[in-house]
Amino acid sequence: MATVHIEANKDDIAKTVLMPGDPLRAKFIADNFLTNVKVVNTIRNMNAYTGYYNNKKVTIFPSGMGIPSIGIYAYELYKFYNVEEIIRIGTCGTTKQDLNILDVVLAISSYSLSNYPKLFDNDIINEISSDVELNNRIKISAKNNNINLISGEIITSDIFDPYLDNFDRYISNYPDKEFVAMEMESFCLFYLAKKLNKKASCLLTIVDIIGKNISVDSSDREKSLKNMIKVALDSIL
């Protein structure tokens, strides 16, 4: 079996998928956390891997950047490969000055101005929640790993906000309520999970605080990303 964008056989893909944006991060996870790893996709260099984490079969499949890209891969995995749950693991920015670089965020919902639901199925939707049961498993995993999670609503944007000349004008398009982070993919993932009766969640590491000029040591960043990855992997056991 193959789709336009995935060359794997159906049995090559696990029921649970971890989905980083970056194909190189997918390789990093496969190399450092999984055993008996098999490359299951190479189309467009979106290299994906299936292996075992503590005897649990799991696939690591990159999404690329933005709603259109994750929309392709999440849809094909849910619809044609019978994937049951996808956990996005990525990076984000925040406007909250009380948060810190490398804090880990669990997205309980995503708000977006994207037209994806309208174009997909004539749905008028701006906010979608992640899966409660999957989130609860992630919270337990974080507690067991002594990782503090910041749970909250996030924004999924079509704009990479560090490039904006007028951030105040940009943020005024969104409701006047507290969002803990901003990223570019989760809204679409949550929407497709709801439409296809599947599960989805999202863990994010903060790498940018709007208004602060902070640099992060590469070893600290790698350690934090490893923490986030382990929380996600332990949640599937």
Q: Is residue 148 part of a domain?
A: yes
CATH of the domain at 57: 3.40.50.1580
Q: Is residue 3 part of a domain?
A: no
Residue 76's domain comprises 10-235
pLDDT at residue number 70: 98
DSSP category for residue 180: -
Q: Is residue 2 part of a domain?
A: no
Q: Is residue 4 part of a domain?
A: no
Q: Is residue 5 part of a domain?
A: no
Q: How do the pLDDT tens digits run along the chain, 237 residues long?
A: 689 999 999 999 999 999 999 999 999 999 999 999 999 999 999 999 999 999 999 999 999 999 999 999 999 999 999 999 999 999 999 999 999 999 999 999 999 999 999 999 999 999 999 999 999 999 999 999 999 999 999 999 999 988 888 989 999 999 999 999 999 999 999 999 999 999 999 999 999 898 887 767 767 777 778 999 999 999 999
Which residues are bridge partners to 230 per DSSP?
Answer: none
**pTM as predicted:** 0.96
Domain count of the fold of the chain:
1
Q: Are strands 199-209 and 104-111 parallel, antiparallel or unpaired?
A: antiparallel
Catalytic machinery residues: 208
pLDDT at residue number 218: 65
Over the stretch 124-182, which tens digit does the pLDDT of each residue have?
999 999 999 999 999 999 999 999 999 999 999 999 988 888 989 999 999 999 999 99
DSSP category for residue 187: H
Q: Is residue 135 part of a domain?
A: yes
Kind and range of the H or E run holding 72: helix 67-80
